[in-house]
Structure 1
Amino acid sequence: MNRTVPSHGFFVTGTDTEIGKTCVSAALLHLFAQAGCRSAGLKPVAAGTGLIDGERINEDVRSLRAAGSLALTDAEVGTLQLDAACAPHIAAALEGRAIDRGAILRASRALAERADVLVVEGVGGFCVPLGADWDTSDLAVDLAMPVVLVVGLRLGCINHALLTAQAIRSRGLRLAGWIGNCVASDMPWSDENVSTLRGWLCRLHGAPCLGVVPRLAQPDAPAVAAHLDGSILRVLLTSSISMITP
């Protein structure tokens, strides 16, 4: 089977879980929509739902759905939504389900046909198991998109970022850029860490810093987007595998 999805967009991954991938993905969708693009978000595997008005809701899926410019359903944005907030293969096993690779690719193709820019948010870090013999790095390869790395700015972030960038490169994928997100408000020498990341990720991978997001009281898509580089659309769109025509 030809796994590659012919699409135009970006795969958003992170140095860990809970470091702001959804906030950044929503901000990217917001920026693309503001630029007049038909933007759509996809969360192929979402683990963790809550009961709201009698309906099981995944907050990440809802955030991406709200930030994009296409009118989509929760099911279109979140291909597989699992109830337990844990590693996805464990959450799937708890429900007696398997994560269907083919279903994810079909959902990706369907959205890619409707959108100018598709933003796909991974789950956890870059190498999270999705089954007995495949993980999120395999999914990124299937999608064949340039990667945007969200770096959770806290102690250890330099090592985590460089290791993740190396893993992305080893899978033959392009690291289009990275975004720092301040997850620790009291991180010592934060500016020095960001400066180091700028130098090393640019030198080793040609990956520019697309923005540094501070701790925000309301980290919604417009608020996060305000802290991203003004040239982000040009940088990302020219990095995309399939260019869109303005």
Structure 2
Amino acid sequence: MMNKIFITGTDTDAGKTLVATTLLYKAQAQGLSCFGLKPIAAGCEWSYVEQEQEQEQGQWHNDDALFLQAASQPAQSYSVHNPFAFPQAIAPHIAATLNDQTLSVKSVLDACEVGLQQDVDFHLIEGAGGWLVPLNDNETLADLAQQLANKQGYKMVLVVGMKLGCINHALLTQQLILASGLELVGWVANHIDPEMSEQDANFAYLQGHIKAPCLGRIPYSPNIAAKDLIHHIEIPR
């Protein structure tokens, strides 16, 4: 089993969080401890979350990060799962500027130190948006993934949001990952558009051209909980 993976996607709405939480619940079903980390989340609400029968101070919370926290075993306080939480649902580097913060590979790794040190069987990091989402004028999430791979051995998993244009998006993302010398250990087809024509033909093409095993094919499932989808996916090995 691959115990450290970084999840990226073909675009913002590819379904990274659904795949990430499903993988965490899959790990739990196999008797594994697991931890989900979302370093940066944009699009948050101010709220209070109860943790171990004590109410935390009010802070910004993101639904995707809350899903990862809920699917982790054991779960930690919210800020360990999501250290950078911005209220605006916009590109992270812009959101950071609006909130008088600076994002960089170093600042993100420093903020994630506790999360990265979690001693679990299966550790998962979910990126924000797609592969080249900026952190600042000079660095992107790809640079963060590169550091995580080089320093801590993370492998890449690509989530393909199955819709018109996904073949181009998937193959471009794969090309960039492999050109960086990173290991792509799997991909997941997530059916996000029930009206997409020729879904099977698109899936077959991707299966033949992505140079990594398909870990699963998640059906269009807007009202199904991630824990009920674990039979559609496998943890990379």
TM-score normalised by the chain length of structure 1: 0.85
Q: Deviations over 1:196-221 (max 9, x none)?
A: 000111xxx2x011111111132422
Contact 1:9 1:119 in 2 (8 A): yes
1:65-84 aligned within 5 A: 65-84=69-88
Aligned position for 2:178: 169
- Displacement of 1:106 after TM fit? 3.6
Contact 1:23–1:219 (CA under 8 A) maintained in structure 2: no
Residue 226 (structure 2) aligned to one of 208, 221, 225: 221
Q: Distance in 2 between matches of 1:100 and 1:82?
A: 15
Residue 52 of structure 1: CA displacement?
A: 3.9
Aligned residues of 2:40 and 2:82 also touching (Cα < 8 A): yes
Secondary structure of 1:187's counterpart equals coil
Matches within 5 A, 1:71-220: 71-113=75-117, 114-144=119-149, 145-201=154-210, 205=211, 207-220=212-225
The separation in 2 between residues aligned to 1:219 and 1:74, in whole angstroms, is 24
CA offset digits 1:50-79 (Å, max 9, x no partner): 244665321011000001111211100002
Shift in Å, 1:107: 4.8
Q: Which has the higher strand share?
A: 2
TM-superposed CA distance for 1:108, in Å, is 4.4
| C-alpha distance in structure 1 between counterparts of 2:94 and 2:112, whole Å | 23
Identity of aligned residues (%): 39
Residues 125 and 31 of structure 1, relative CA distance in 2, 3 Å threshold: same
CA-atom RMSD, angstroms?
1.7
Cα distance in structure 2, aligned partners of 1:147 and 1:220:
24
Equivalent residue letter for 1:209: C
Question: What secondary structure sits across from 2:232 in the alignment?
Answer: coil
Distance, in Å, in 2 between the alignment partners of 1:110 and 1:116 is 16
Contact 1:147 1:173 in 2 (8 A): yes
Structure 1 segments unaligned to the other structure (5+ residues): 1-6, 239-246
CA contact (8 A) 1:24 1:224 kept: no
Decide whether the 8 Å contact of 2:104 with 2:136 is kept in 1.
Answer: no
Q: Does 1:26 align with 2:21?
A: yes
Distance 1:165 1:198, change over 3 A: same
Alignment of 1:7-22 (within 5 A): 8-22=3-17
TM-score by length of 2: 0.88
Counterparts of 1:110 and 1:182, CA distance in 2: 34
The 3 A distance-change label for structure 1 pair 8 and 112 is: farther
Which residue identity lines up with residue 22 of structure 1 in the other structure?
Answer: T
Q: Report the AA paired with residue 43 of structure 2.
A: G
* Contact 2:160-2:188 within 8 A present in 1 as well: yes
C-alpha separation in 2, matches of 1:163 and 1:100:
24
Question: Any stretches of 5+ residues in structure 2 without a counterpart?
Answer: 49-57
